[in-house]
Amino acid sequence: MWLALRNSKYMKYITVGGALAVTSAVSYQAKNSKHIENIGLVRFSRAGLTAANIVWMYKTSIYNTDLDPKSEEYAELRSTVHTAAAKELLALCEANKGVFVKIGQHLGGLDYILPPEYIDVLKILHSRAPTSPLEEILQVVREELAQDPSEIFDEFDPEPLGTASLAQVHRATLKDGTVVAVKVQHPFVKRNADVDMKTMEVFVNIASWIFPEFRFEWLVTESKKNIPRELDFEEEAETTIKVRKMFKHLHWLKVPEVHEELSTSRVLTLEFVEGGQVNDTDYMNEHGLDRFDVSDKLGKLYSEMIFRKGYVHSDPHPGNILVRKNKHGTVDIVLLDHGLYQTLSKFIKEEYSHLWLSILSRDVDGIRKHGNALGVGRFSFLLACMVTGRSWDAINSGIAVTKQDNAEKKLISDSFSMFFRDMTETLQLLNPELLLILKTNDLLRGIEFKLKTQNRMSSYLVMSRACISTVYEQRIEKCSNLLNKWRLHFTKNWMLFKISMYYFYLGVRHASIKHGFKMLKYR
């Protein structure tokens, strides 16, 4: 089959056939629809043309060159082709919108598996999702709430506060003067979702057939499972209410209240909460917010979700997390967009906690044992690298005491092509519950780097405390001997004390003694 594709005429047939399909679809439907981009055949054919172009790029360059794969010339060629292919994908996502933007955003967060050129190009989608016209948005509100928007709102800001792949959010004022945030689904996204996911499945399977090392079937499986959930705003409303109750003990966490009477499967009305995006350092400087406090509280929140509650917000990109100064002068975290949560089973939560504790304590046998329990077998050490975003040398040296420098970043980047097939196979084997956790880890690391708080490695220290507490509480629960229970309690508290002292040391080293005590206080 690969030999057949090496003959250029086959690629020409694919390209010409795709072009004819698009032309025929547009010609047939143009007189009957003002939304040509929402015709299934047009969307499918557009994706086909993009796939053919990308295959053609790689076929005629990287897979058809005499350059030494270790040479600088080859590296430059590879980077050029990766960038061009990523731009093709970006154009497809922006043209087809909806689910395609969602998938593009997901791909843009896979910096542990995709080349950096793809990440740099596709990450634009996190802040530049296509916007729907105001009249189309208001029509969705009419259909869903069975009233004209003017009967519900005194004001409805025509400019969206933010636009995401599946919806956009507008500030509005109710008749009683209450200011709300109205999340409205893009008009055609739900109708197009099934066709778009089938389209993606077809072309991922074709890509896997042409390039055996391209194994992204796991992404198709997860998207088919999760996107319908994200398109149901009634489920999101229920989840938002649940999360408000579940994490009410975190006094610095703000989850907006839901206006249930003004919420449906396509419209979600929420309390309006002011704040700046979590990666907006200018906003933090202007309002006197402590970046280290932001980073620490974010790490504590997600450690609580993963290791304690087993219920994890799985889309923590900067647009979904706001920060603000509270009445006490410290940082509040505002968590938005509760459309996608991952529930971890007790087994997965325990094994993942043990895996992290093994990584943090440089326990090679533990990494192998718990990686195997999570389903990846011989790829356990690779999983440890993917979970942490660090090299194996760094894990061996201790990721909680070594910061990531440019040399390590280059080593990871240079190793990409060597381990690409192994990484995609690892994702195929990995327990599905953990796929969204990997995405969450990457997004949180990206925020930490943007805030420039990574040198203190606070996320690892917060995670250490959560892992130690979780693992030892499991052992205490299973222990029937009173003396052994006492020993386990003592060991747990001693380990937590050592972690706290080390955390205090780093707080003093990177800020001040006052900062060190402050960071110990809320723990």
DSSP result, 90-111: HHHHHHH-THHHHHHHHHTT-T
Strands 253-254 and 331-335, bridge-based pairing: parallel
**b/e sequence 325-349, b meaning 16+ C-beta within 10 Å:** beeeeebbbbbbbbbbbbebeeebb
What is the per-residue DSSP string for 400-431?
A: TT----HHHHHHHHHTHHHHHHHHHHHHHHS-
Q: ∠ CA(151), CA(157), CA(159), 5° rounding?
A: 140
CA distance 473 to 467: 10
Query: Nearest to residue 188, comparing CAs of 97, 89, 100?
Result: 97
b/e burial code for range 195-212 (CB count within 10 A of at least 16 → b):
bbbebbbebbebbbebbe
The set of catalytic residues is 315
Kindly report the backbone phi and psi dihedral angles of residue 163, in degrees, each rounded to the nearest multiple of 5, phi listed first. -125, 130
Cβ atoms of residues 91 and 99 within 8 Å: no
